[in-house]
Amino acid sequence: MTLIKNISGFRGTIGGQKNDNLTPIDIVSSIAAFSRLIKENNPTSSNLTVMTGRDGRKSGELIQTLVNSVFASMGINVIDTGLSTTPTLCWGVLNNESVAGLMITASHNPEEYNGLKFFNSDGEFLSKEDVEKLIEYSESKDHNFIANESLGEVTKYTNLIDDHIEGIINLDILPLKKIKELNLFVVADAINSTGSIALPILFKKLNIRYKIINAEIEGVFNHTPEPLSENLRGLSEEITMTNADFGVAVDPDVDRLVFFDENGKILGEEYTQVFCSDFVLSVNNGDTVSTLSSSNALKDLTKSYNSDYHVTPVGEMNVVKKMKEINSVVGGEGGGGIIYPELHYGRDALVGIALFLGLLVNKKCKVSALKNDYPEYFMKKLKVSLKDNNVIDNIFKEIVNRYSDLNPNTDDGVRIDFPNGWVHMRKSNTEPIVRIFSESNDQKQADSLALKIEKEIKSLSN
C-alpha cells in the first residue's frame, strides 16, 4: 500500500520500497522531519523531550527503537513508555513537560500496517499547517543530525497507563461510590493489543468484575481490528455464555469504543458518544461537537438538553478545534470516539467506559433498555475504490450540481440532507478510497440512499 501522510499521521504496510510502504527509511525521514518541526516550534528551549509509545503490533518494538534513536540523534530526549494506548500517550504529554508525543500505531487497520501519530505539547494532533510542514520536511534530504556531545537521552517509563487511569478515577464528574456498588460483570475484547493492559487496571479501580478476550499481545490480531459487529462475533458469544451485564470492544490503540448489551447485541459505534454525552450533559449541560459523518442521535440528545450541537469535517483535529472555540463540554466522532475535555482533548475509550458507567448509575436499567431513551437511527457505510484518485473532486462537483436544490454541505467531501435521511461522501484519510455514510430512521432507506450514491459515483468514474 502507498504510504499515506495526512492529518491523522503517516501510515502504511510494513516492508517493501521506500515511499510505497512504511519502511525504516521512511521512519527515519519522518522522525527527523518531526524533530525539525519541534525545534522550530520551541526556538528558545535547549532541553526538548518527546514521549513515545506503541500498540501491540509485531513491528511496534522495532519501530519504537528506531524512532527513539532518531529523536536522540536530533538532540531530543525521549521518554519511552513502551506498550501504551494513544489516549494514554496524549494524556501523558499534556501532564508532563514533554514538547511532543509520537504514538506508533495504525489504529483500526490490520496487523500488517503500522503508522506514526504525531502530537503537540498539549497531547493533541498537529494543526493543518504543521502537518503540511511535516510532510514537506519528511520528503526533504536536508536533516541536520546532532554531534556526539549533544545527543539526546532515552529513558523508560512503564507506569503511564496507571497514571492515566488514576486521572480518570479522580474526575469530579464520576459517581465513584455508586459505580462500585453496581456489582457488574463485563466482557471486553482487547484485540490482542494494549487494551489488555489498560482495561483490567480500569475495571479493578471501578470494582468491576471482568473477563478479557483476545488478551495475548503477540503481534497477531485474532480478528479484523475495526470494532464493527461483523468482527466481534466472539465477544457477542462470550457475553451470553458468561451471563455478563454488558460487553465492550476497543481498537488496537484504544481510542475507539463500542458497547454490547447483556444479550450480546452490539449497540452501535455511533451510540458511544451518545451514551457518554448523555451522562456528561446530565451533570454539566453545554454544547456538543461531532462530525458530518456522525449520527443525528447526538444532535437530538443535545437539543433535548436545550443546548447547541455543532458539526465539523471528519478528523479529531477538527472536532477539538471547534470544541475549544465554543467551550464544548463533550464531543467526539461517530466511529466510537469520545472526547471529554476535563481529562484531555483526545478520543479516549477508557474515559468513555467510565462515563458509560456513570450513565448506568443514572438510568438504573439493563444495558439493553438504554436505547429506548433515544431516537432510533440506522446507518449504512460503503467503500468505493477508484482507479484514479484525481477524478474524485470532479465527481463530487457533479454530484453537488445534481443536488444543488438540497444545498449540499461541501466542508468535507459532500453531505446531502434528503427528506428521509442524509448521505455523506468523502475521501478517506487513511486509505485510497471514497467512503459513503448514510443514515435514516429506517434501515431500508439508509441502504437505499447509500447504494444510490455509490451507483452515481461509479457511473461518473467511467
378 DSSP β-pair partners: 440
DSSP helix/strand/coil, 455: helix
Cα separation values, 314 from 303, 311, 339, 349, 396, Å: 22, 9, 14, 18, 16
Packing angle of the helix pair 443-461, 392-402 (nearest 10 deg) = 120
Cα separation values, 406 from 376, 409, 426, Å: 24, 9, 18
Backbone angles phi, psi at 330, to 5 degrees: -165, 155
- Is 107 one of the catalytic residues? yes
Catalytic residue among 8, 107, 277, 438: 107
Place of cell 500498540: 55
With the C-alpha atoms ordered 18, 20, 21, 22, is the resulting torsion angle positive or negative?
Answer: positive
User: Nine-digit cell at 146?
Assistant: 546532532
The answer for residues whose C-beta is within 8 angstroms of residue 342's C-beta and 6 or more apart is 171, 172, 173
Torsion of CA 238, 244, 198, 221, to 10 degrees: 10
Catalytic residue numbers read: 107
